[in-house]
Amino acid sequence: MPENKETLIPPIERTETSTRMVDLQSERIVSVPAEVKTWMRKIEEDPTITNNGNQQTNGDNDSIMQPIATTVTKITLPTTKKTFTGGFSQPTDNAWKWLTTFILRIIKKSKGNVKFKEE
């Protein structure tokens, strides 16, 4: 029996590894040719992007920022207020408990701008 175990184990091959010291600071600096432009330089020099017809500019070529109007969205929840409040009294292995917890999260994220389904 021990002879069979010895024949099943493959021999371990040892490979010699060489260590080479590398100066990381000297290899880090790479010279880039002058004709290679960065992505930011390409965007700044692109006339289709910088001279957009939608931008209003004043005398010193500064863009005028327009404020974005905030809209309040009202979310209609798929449950009634009665089933929502009753879900908190359910045990944790019940799906209504987790649905109520998820709906509470939606209410908190929307800062109370929600509406329950009509009964």
User: What is the tens place of the pLDDT at every residue in 16-58?
Assistant: 777 777 777 776 677 777 777 777 788 788 877 766 555 554 5
- HEC string for the chain: CHHHHHHHCCCCCCCCCCCCCCCHHHHHCCCCCCCCCCHHHHHHHCHHHHCCCCCCECCCCCECCCCCCCCCCCEECCCCHHHHHHHHHCCCCCHHHHHHHHHHHHHHHCCCCEECCCC
The residue ranking higher by pLDDT, 106 or 44, is 106
Read off the pLDDT of each residue in 100-114 and give the average, rounded to a whole number. Answer: 88
